[in-house]
């Protein structure tokens, strides 16, 4: 799939996934796309944990039993951010993890899989539980959880505002 097509096809999918495993080769392509994202001072502090082992997967599912897209996902990608300052006292943790995640989302769409950027529910304790479950060392943070799989239903798009309505030229 061509880049601009992947951008237009990328959707947040909160439905059920088919019970098909995600191919390891596809996960590797997705992670390579994420790793190609820019990072503050090129420090590349954002990392990944891929979860496809049944016991680890079940433990994550148990944290969010009412979320069908978690319950049925055959695999997860956890985006791990690092709050370590990289330039003077500045950290680029949020921007770095967002850039990585966008690349990952586009790669997932390009390969015909579906996902949703799931992070709001992680704040408030689930991030700590996931970090403990997966052995993520402090001060690193389980920032974003991406359930990944083949969608069982059509992935529909919400209407987006035209870019022109969100763009200002030379002044506000």
Taking residues 135-154, report their average pLDDT.
96
Task: Quick: pLDDT tens for 61-74.
Answer: 999 999 999 999 99
Q: Within 13 Å and on the Cβ side, how many CA atoms surround 20?
A: 11
Q: Are 128 and 51 in contact (CB under 8 A)?
A: no
**What's phi and psi for 123, nearest 5 deg?**
-65, 140
Asked whether the predicted pLDDT for residue 84 surpasses 90, the reply is: yes
Taking residues 32-37, report their average pLDDT.
98
pTM for this prediction:
0.94
Taking residues 102-124, report their average pLDDT.
93
For the chain, which domains are there? 3-166 (3.40.109.10)
Asked whether the predicted pLDDT for residue 1 surpasses 80, the reply is: no
| Average pLDDT over all residues of the chain | 95
């Amino acid at each position: 799939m061509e880049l601009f097509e992947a951008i237009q096809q990328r959707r947040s999918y909160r439905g059920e996934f088919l019970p098909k495993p995600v191919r390891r080769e596809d996960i590797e392509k997705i992670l390579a796309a994420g790793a190609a994202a820019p990072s503050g001072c090129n420090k590349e502090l954002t990392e990944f944990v891929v979860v496809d082992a049944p016991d680890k997967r079940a433990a994550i599912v148990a944290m969010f039993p009412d979320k069908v897209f978690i319950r049925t996902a055959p695999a997860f990608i956890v985006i791990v951010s690092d709050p370590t300052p990289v330039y003077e006292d500045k950290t680029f943790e949020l921007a770095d993890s967002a850039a990585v995640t966008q690349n990952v989302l586009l790669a997932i769409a390009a390969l015909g899989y579906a996902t949703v950027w799931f992070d709001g529910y992680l704040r408030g304790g689930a991030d700590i539980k996931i970090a403990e479950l997966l052995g993520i060392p402090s001060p690193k943070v389980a920032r974003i959880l991406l359930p990944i799989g083949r969608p069982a239903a059509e992935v529909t798009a919400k209407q987006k505002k035209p870019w022109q309505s969100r763009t200002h030229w030379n002044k506000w």
